[in-house]
Every structure is written in C-alpha cells, then in structure tokens.
Amino acid sequence: MKQIDISVVVPLFNEEESLPELAAWIKKVMDENNFSYEIVMIDDGSKDNSWAVIEELQTKNEFIKGIKFRRNYGKSAALFCGFDVVQGDVVITMDADLQDSPDEIPELYRMVKEDGFDLVSGWKKKRHDPVLSKNIPSKLYNWTVRRMTGIKLHDMNCGLKSYRKNVIKSIEVYGDMHRYIPVLAKWAGYKNIGEKIVIHSERKYGVTKFGLERFIRGPLDLLSVTFISRFVKRPMHFFGILGVIMIMVGIAATIWLGIQKIIQIKHGILGDLITNSPYFYIALTSMIIGAQFFMGGFLGELISRSASDRNKYKIEKQTFD
C-alpha cells in the first residue's frame, strides 16, 4: 500500500454548493506540493444533495472517500469516524464551508513533520464573523479555556488543525468534544501543541450550522472534559476532598455552638435552644452533604478500580534486553 502523506478530514452538513470548489482547491494544493493524500468527507446526515455531490466527486478524484450518516449526529461523531479510517502520516481537519483555506495545508504539514509538533491549531486572528454573536463570545470562551486547561491557544475551536497520526488514533472524540481536541490530546500525553495564524474567509454559500445552544453546551463540555482529564482515574481526590471540607465546616459550626453553650452555662445565662441557632443547621447540612460527597468518591473509586481498563496506558515506545 502506498504511503499517504496527508489525510484531510472534512465533516459537513448541508454544504452541497461548496464541496466541488473545496475538493478542487485541495487537489490543486496537493498536486503543487507533490503530496500523496486522501480526502475523507463525512456527510453528517445532510438534507440537501451533499452525498450525491460527494459520489460525483469520487468519480473524478480517486483520492476522495466518503462516509454518510443516516441522521445528524454532530461534528464530534463525524470527526471520530473520519479519524478511525484515515491512513496519512499527518491528519488535517477543516470545515467544508470554504472559510478554512487549503493553502494553509503545506505549512501545517511542515510544522508537524519538521518542527515536531503533535498538534497544530489554527488561529483565526482576523475573523469575518458577527462581532456580538461570535467574536466576543469566542474571545471570552478561549480565555476561559486557557485559564482552566493551561493550553495557550487563542482559538481552541478552530476547525483547521493538523495532527500527527498517532495523536488522533489515541483520543476519542464524542458528544461535543470537538471543541476540546487539544485538551484531549494533552490528556493523552501529547503536550507539544502549536498554533498558526490562518486566513479566515467569509462564508460563500449557505448559513452557519451552529446556533445559540453552543453557548450552553460549550461551558458544560469544558467542565466535563476538565473533570474527566483530572479525576477519571481518582474520583476520591475530587469528591473526597469536597466531602472532607464540608464535614470540617460542619464540625467547626458544631464546636462554635458548643463553645457558646459552655460560655452561657458558665455565666448563668439562659440562652436559646441549640436547635434555634442557624449554626446548628449549617453544621447538620454540611455534615450530611460532606458524607454524601465522601461516599460518592468512595463508590467512584471502587468502580474505577474494578474497571477492565484501569491499568490500560498509552505506551509510545518500549525496549527489552
């Protein structure tokens, strides 16, 4: 089998107008640079003629491959299936709407092969998107992700990225985790993550496929991927610590109640019942919640230690005498 230099993965949904131009543009770039390549187009349940266009393009270019979903599953599912079948040394993802330029491919390839990056993410420094609905939320989102993950990327969710092949074979993209592939890569042990300023063009055909729900899903997915990456193998470190803190708060409130009562008795003061004090309910609630957190961590630890893949680790190289 001939070695493939680059695999281009293109998830798409209702992009029939842009596909012929995109395929021709990618082919032009590949031929000019003498790259061996494949283009994997994943039709994520399009309602237009996108699949028919892909089939027609395959008759003209043998390097185009297609996957068609029966219904719309989302970008993460499309990327997962694309990553599963690619064979190129370097994998490049891009959107199908022509807002990502295939002219960026040679440099993205070089940064992986020559500069040694595991993953290179595009940075749309100059965006052609609405300021209020996309630009400002994007800046806030990326700032938050940088603070929470420690990955210094300006545009975490840019669709134009390049990967070393073993990176995409080592991660599982699901749900809406396509926004956090660099985080998943870092979690898998690939920390050499770079960034490249890329051209962002105005949408030529159709309309954007992402609505306001991304503002809800994005933060929730960030919390999910952050928690999983840090505590999936040691849930007691998260829930147990929270439980201990809550129990300590309850104990502190109880001690305060006890000190108050002792002082009142010593001075012959007829005080209120302990159950009338707000500290009593703070102590009681904190201890109950703390115990629940602690038991949750304990049960999570038992489940984690009983998992079949508890000692399954990503080994890159090994030598034996």
| Interatomic CA distance for residues 41 and 80, integer angstroms | 12
Contact 157, 168 (CB under 8 A): no
| pLDDT value for 199 | 85
pLDDT of residue 256: 87
Half-sphere exposure for 163 (CA within 13 Å, toward CB): 28
- Distance linking the first and last C-alpha atoms of the chain: 33
Closest CA to 15 of 66, 50, 57: 50
Residue spans per domain, the chain: 6-231, 236-306
Cβ neighbors of 292 (< 8 A, separation 6 or more) are: 243
Residues contacting residue 221 through CB under 8 Å, at least 6 positions apart? 175, 176, 177, 179, 180
Query: Which residue in 14, 7, 42 sits closest to 203, CA to CA?
Result: 14
Task: Please give the single-letter amino acid code of residue 64.
Answer: I
Could you report the per-residue pLDDT of 170-201, keeping only the tens digit for each? 888 877 788 889 988 988 889 899 999 998 87
Sign of the CA dihedral with 273 first, then 276, 277, and 279 last: positive
> How much is the pLDDT for 311?
47
Burial class (CB in 10 A: 0-12, 13-18, 19+), 24: middle
- Amino acid found at 75: K
- Can you spell out the DSSP letters for 262-289? HHHHHTT-----GGGSHHHHHHHHHHHH
Question: pLDDT tens across 117-157, in order?
Answer: 999 999 988 776 555 556 677 777 778 778 877 888 888 88
What is the structure's pLDDT at 44? 93
Question: H-helix or E-strand containing 128?
Answer: none
Fold of 6-231: Spore Coat Polysaccharide Biosynthesis Protein SpsA; Chain A (3.90.550)
For 71, the token pair is 């219904």
Residues of the chain with pLDDT under 50: 311, 313, 315
